[in-house]
Amino acid sequence: MNDTNTTGKASHPGIAVWDQRFAATEGFVFGTEPNQFLVRQATRLTPGMKVLAVADGEGRNGVWLARQGLNVTAVDGSRVALGKAERLARERGAHIETVCADLVTWDWGANQYDAVVAIFIQFAGPRLRPVLFQRAHGALKAGGLFLLEGYTPKQLEYKTGGPSALANLYTESQLREELAGFDILHLAAYDTELSEGNGHKGMSAVVDVVARKA
Ligand SMILES: C[S@@+](CC[C@H](N)C(=O)[O-])C[C@H]1O[C@@H](n2cnc3c(N)ncnc32)[C@H](O)[C@@H]1O
């Protein structure tokens, strides 16, 4: 694991909470199977592509991407989650490069990736969110894809996962505005049954985005 936090302490206050959540079970809080929106995008993802999986947590998505033949860098602030991601990669015979870093301060790089995958990164509130979207844009090569899934405000009725802060949830219009620098190829909000460990379980209100850097 490439660890940018050399103090041994969580670099971001919120990360300590994530570390505790991931350490509370030997198992995988969000399961070991990939997110279904990501799987539906498989035809856009070809072997050899360089992918940055941000806030990849316990690695279910990064490992699946690696098993499709993509070259994966998985970044997360939780060292505990990344330890599980490395375990999952070993068990599945896949290789991912893991980086333990706070995405707020980490250098995402420029024009490097064919895709940036961001599945449930709703730790970011309204001020940070556009900054992270901007970094994703900067990190992508021209023509690169940004794949994003998150919960919509309706999720506060379902309470089957995700943040309780309304401001951290996504609406279609807010995403169109904040992703204005991209070409939006697909944007859809819908209700679906999620079964992603105990973390995301039950009827859920989500929105999916596939956006391309021009
Ligand atoms: C809801 S989980 C999603 C994990 C993974 N994408 C998945 O779908 O299984 C959110 C993730 O964001 C990570 N995270 C929260 N704040 C972060 C930060 N500032 N920098 C990097 N990762 C962060 C947490 O450690 C956690 O793994």
Domains in the chain with CATH codes? 2-213 (3.40.50.150)
**Ligand 1 midpoint to CA 178 (Å):** 20
- How does pLDDT run across 35-94, given as a tens digit for each residue? 999 999 999 999 999 999 999 999 999 999 999 999 999 999 999 999 999 999 999 999
Any ligand 1 atom below 6 A from CB of 18: yes
- How does pLDDT run across 160-171, given as a tens digit for each residue? 999 999 999 999
Nearest atom (ligand 1) to Cα of 162 = 1
- How does pLDDT run across 92-146, given as a tens digit for each residue? 999 999 999 999 999 999 999 999 999 999 999 999 999 999 999 999 999 999 9
Cβ atoms of 105 and 10 within 8 Å: the answer is no
What local confidence, expressed as pLDDT, does residue 13 receive? 66
Nearest atom (ligand 1) to Cα of 29 = 9
What local confidence, expressed as pLDDT, does residue 8 receive? 47
**Ligand 1 midpoint to CA 55 (Å):** 4
Q: Give which of 172, 161, 103 is closest to 133, Cα–Cα.
A: 103
Residue type, 154: K
**Ligand 1 midpoint to CA 57 (Å):** 5
Q: What's the predicted TM-score (pTM) here?
A: 0.96
Q: Which helix (H) or strand (E) holds 102?
A: none
Provide the total of helices (H) and of strands (E) in the chain, helices listed first: 7, 8
What local confidence, expressed as pLDDT, does residue 12 receive? 65
Q: Give which of 191, 3, 200 is closest to 119, Cα–Cα.
A: 200
Q: What average pLDDT does range 179-189 have in this prediction? A: 98
For the cut 90, the answer to whether the pLDDT of residue 4 exceeds it is: no
pLDDT range class, residue 3, cuts 50, 70, 90: confident
